[in-house]
A and B are shown apart, each in its own frame.
Chain A
Amino acid sequence: MYAFEIERPSTLAEAVSALSAEGAQALGGGQTLIPTLKQRLAAPEVLVSLSGISEMKGVCPDDDGRLCIGGATTHAAVARDAAAAYPALAALASHIGDPAVRNRGTIGGSLANNDPAACYPAAALASNATIVTQNRAIDADDYFQGLFTTALEEGEIITEVKFAIPEAANYQKFLQPASRFALVGVFVAKYADGVRVAVTGASEDGVFRWSEAEAALSSDFSAGALDGLSVPAEGMIGDLHGTPEYRAHLVKVMTKRAVAAAG
């Protein structure tokens, strides 16, 4: 790693101020950023750790019935504390990485990084979650903008993520066993006004909505409703773990499994 300073603010205001410095970067749980620093793929001058900011941690419902999760909340805490209100989201969190990784990695860090194979982007997009920063609230539909690219601006911190709770939901992840990321992951969420289907791990553009499946499932919420659909291989990731055709095939398989499991 190149040398840098670490700051550990205890309030959001202090963190925002520290991040306005030249060369400053936010540090969530570090489970992606620290390996990246070790490879010298990033060279911040100052890391601003968000792990000591208690106002950015925790899971609670708001007055509109949404589940609000602080940006610095760990995957382990989401798995535990969201289980009653949003079991599909808690189940997703409980399968990220491994137990020690889940004790450090955070929802805000995952969404800010927007790895094309991360799990949380699928949940956020399928739930049309609201990504809240110190400056504004961003709909998930506007937030994800491609590989490792989001609507976040320089110095902007995810303080909170708000999820509308669906009538039924499920996440199915086809595990890439070495990395424990998703080879393909599909989050299906059924709301009163329609079904949303978000796919991670598959596309070269990162997480995306499978709109044909959403239309089919909105009129008939059953795995059979997807029988006539297929996903084009064009634009899918091809690597040593799977071809674009394989990933395209998996998208449909995992969507059907998610619908069947959601009931």
Chain B
Amino acid sequence: MAKVSMTVNGAAASGEVEGRTLLVEFLRGPLGLTGTHVGCDTSQCGACVVHVNGEAVKACTMFAAEADGAEVRTIEGMANADGSLGVIQQAFQDHHGLQCGFCTPGMVMSAAALLKDNPKPTEAEVRKYLEGNICRCTGYHNIVKAIMAASGQDVSAIAAE
């Protein structure tokens, strides 16, 4: 066991982990941040995407020990300070960008990473960027629409929900 310390959603977090403890296990277990989901556990589906030092990573394919000293942001850190939904989250609600909701935390974290680097992506760029996030309900259309809307672009020309 080794001690790890990191900043998670702006607050200090630490705990004892095994070498093999995945970052997603540390977040969901000791820290109780169960918003980050484990879908496939093989780094295919993207339900576990979080930000480590500002970059989107799959938390099922990184060890907790490797995040020692890092700044980690999860879906729980995406709401506004007053607890209301953040811009991307609100857009997902407004445009029905989810069905069962299981993939949504990863979708929102990937969307946030995309919009940080590319504030006004084209629809094709959004679809390309989401290649590592799988929605088993196949609700991609409204997910893409929500991300376009969150970027402040007019989505009225994108086909009906």
Per-position contact with A for B77-114: 1 when CB-CB < 8 Å, else 0? 00000000000000000000000000000000010011
Chain B residues near A97 (CB-CB < 8 A): 132
Could you tell me which residues of chain B, from 17 to 75, have a CB within 8 Å of some CB in chain A? 18-20, 22, 41-43, 46, 49, 55-58, 61-63, 65-66, 68
User: With A4-B20, A8-B66, A104-B62 known to touch, is A31 a contact of B2 (CB < 8 Å)?
Assistant: no
Could you tell me which residues of chain A, from 59 to 91, have a CB within 8 Å of some CB in chain B? 76
Q: Is the CB of A100 within 8 A of B57?
A: yes
User: With A34-B61, A37-B20 known to touch, is A6 a contact of B66 (CB < 8 Å)?
Assistant: yes
Q: Is the CB of A38 within 8 A of B42?
A: yes
Quote the shortest CB–CB distance from A118 to chain B (angstroms): 15
Q: Is the CB of A31 within 8 A of B68?
A: no
B131 contacts partner chain A, Cβ-Cβ < 8 Å: yes
Q: How far is the CA of A6 from the CA of B26 in the complex (A)?
A: 15
Chain B residues near A100 (CB-CB < 8 A): 43, 46, 49, 56-58, 110, 132
A47 contacts partner chain B, Cβ-Cβ < 8 Å: yes
A98 contacts partner chain B, Cβ-Cβ < 8 Å: yes
Quote the shortest CB–CB distance from A160 to chain B (angstroms): 22
Chain B residues near A99 (CB-CB < 8 A): 56, 110, 113-114, 129, 131-132
Per-position contact with B for A1-18: 1 when CB-CB < 8 Å, else 0? 111111010000000000
User: With A31-B43, A100-B46 known to touch, is A6 a contact of B113 (CB < 8 Å)?
Assistant: no
Q: Which residue of A lies closest to B55 (CB)?
A: A103
Q: How far is the CA of A104 from the CA of B62 in the complex (A)?
A: 8
Could you tell me which residues of chain A, from 198 to 231, have a CB within 8 Å of some CB in chain B? none
User: With A3-B18, A99-B110, A100-B57 known to touch, is A8 a contact of B65 (CB < 8 Å)?
Assistant: yes
Q: How far is the CA of A126 from the CA of B141 in the complex (A)?
A: 40
Q: How far is the CA of A37 from the CA of B22 in the complex (A)?
A: 12
Interface centre among B19, B49, B129, B132 (most CB of A within 10 A): B19
Q: Which residue of A lies closest to B61 (CB)?
A: A34
Quote the shortest CB–CB distance from A51 to chain B (angstroms): 6
Q: How far is the CA of A4 from the CA of B55 in the complex (A)?
A: 27
Q: Is the CB of B20 within 8 A of A49?
A: no
Q: How far is the CA of A247 from the CA of B18 in the complex (A)?
A: 43
A249 contacts partner chain B, Cβ-Cβ < 8 Å: no
Quote the shortest CB–CB distance from B128 to chain A (angstroms): 9
Q: How far is the CA of A159 from the CA of B2 in the complex (A)?
A: 27
Q: Which residue of B lies closest to A177 (CB)?
A: B131
Q: How far is the CA of A47 from the CA of B68 in the complex (A)?
A: 15
Chain A residues near B49 (CB-CB < 8 A): 100
Q: Is the CB of B132 within 8 A of A31?
A: no
Partner of A1, one of B20, B55, B56, B114: B20
Q: Is the CB of A3 within 8 A of B43?
A: no
Q: Which 10 A-B pairs have the closest CB atoms?
A: A98-B132, A6-B19, A103-B55, A1-B20, A6-B65, A100-B56, A5-B19, A4-B19, A100-B58, A98-B131
New contact pairs (5) apart from A35-B42, A35-B61, A51-B66, CB-CB < 8 Å: A2-B20, A31-B43, A34-B61, A100-B43, A100-B132
Can you list 30 A-B contacts with CB-CB less than 8 angstroms, sorted by A residue number? A1-B20, A2-B20, A3-B18, A5-B19, A6-B2, A6-B66, A8-B66, A34-B43, A34-B63, A35-B42, A35-B61, A49-B65, A49-B66, A76-B55, A98-B131, A98-B132, A99-B56, A99-B114, A99-B131, A99-B132, A100-B43, A100-B46, A100-B56, A100-B110, A100-B132, A101-B61, A104-B58, A104-B61, A104-B62, A180-B131
